[in-house]
Amino acid sequence: KISEVSAVLAKDDIKPKSICHAKKWSDEVENLYRFQQAGYRDEVEYKQVKQVDMVEYWPETGFVKKLQRKDNTFYYYNKQRECEDKEVHKVKVYVY
C-alpha cells in the first residue's frame, strides 16, 4: 500500500483519473474519511500539501492517528472506527 502512494508521489501535482463514492465500510474507506474530514482528498494530497513523508497510524488498527489541517490545527483520531455506516456514502474514493 505504501509503495503505491510513494510511486504516485514521485510525480508532481497528480490529479485523480476518476472518483466514486464508497458503498460499504472498509479500512481504506475509514482512512479516506479521516483525510477528507481534515480537508484533504487522500494521503497523496496530504503529503503534497504538508510536505511530509510519513502519516501517523495506529499500529493496532492501521487507521490514521493524527492529521494537520491546512490552517495548521490538528485532528486526533481514535484507534476504533469513526466513520459510521450513515457517513460511508459521503466518502470519495479516488482512482489514480
Residues 6+ away with beta carbon under 8 Å from 67: 34, 35, 38, 40, 46, 55, 74, 75, 77
pLDDT at 15: 81
pTM: 0.85
- The crossing angle, in degrees rounded to 10, of helices 27-37 and 43-50 is 40
Q: pLDDT tens, position by position, for the chain (96 residues)?
A: 444 555 555 556 678 899 999 999 999 999 999 999 999 999 999 999 999 999 999 999 999 999 999 999 999 999 999 999 999 999 999 988
Is residue 62 assigned to a domain?
A: yes
pLDDT at 14: 74
* Count of structural domains, the chain: 1
Q: Range of 79's domain?
A: 18-95
For residue 84, what is its C-alpha cell?
459510521
Is residue 1 assigned to a domain?
A: no
Is residue 46 assigned to a domain?
A: yes
Is residue 10 assigned to a domain?
A: no
Is residue 8 assigned to a domain?
A: no
Is residue 31 assigned to a domain?
A: yes
